Amino acid sequence: LWFAVALLPSFVVYLVAMVGETNRAPFDLPEAEGELVGGFHTEYSSLKFALFFLAEYINMVTVSALATTLFLGGWRAPWPVSLWAGANSGWWPVVWFLAKVLALIFVFIWLRGTLPRLRYDQFMKLGWKVLIPVSLLWIVLVATVRALRNQGVDTQRVLVLGAGVLAAVILASLVVDLVAARREKQAKRAAAGGSALAGRPREFDPMAGGFPVPPLPGQQLPAVPRRARARAVTATATTTTGAVGVPEREGSGA
Q: What is the pLDDT of residues 189-202, one digit of tens each?
A: 877 655 444 455 55
Predicted local distance difference test score (pLDDT) of residue 46? 80
Residue 51 has pLDDT above 90, yes or no: no
CA distance 100 to 75: 9
Q: What is the pLDDT of residues 1-32, one digit of tens each?
A: 899 998 899 999 999 999 998 888 888 877 66
Predicted local distance difference test score (pLDDT) of residue 187? 85
pTM of the model: 0.61
Q: What is the DSSP string of 209-233?
A: TSS--PPPTT-B-----HHHHHHHH
Greater confidence (54 vs 188) lies with: 54
Q: What is the pLDDT of residues 147-192, one digit of tens each?
A: 888 888 877 777 777 778 878 988 998 899 899 989 988 888 877 6
Greater confidence (62 vs 24) lies with: 62
Mean of pLDDT values over 233-242:
64
The beta-carbon contacts of 53-62 under 8 Å, at least 24 apart in sequence, are: 56/22, 56/23, 59/21, 59/22, 60/22, 60/24, 60/105, 60/108, 61/101, 61/105
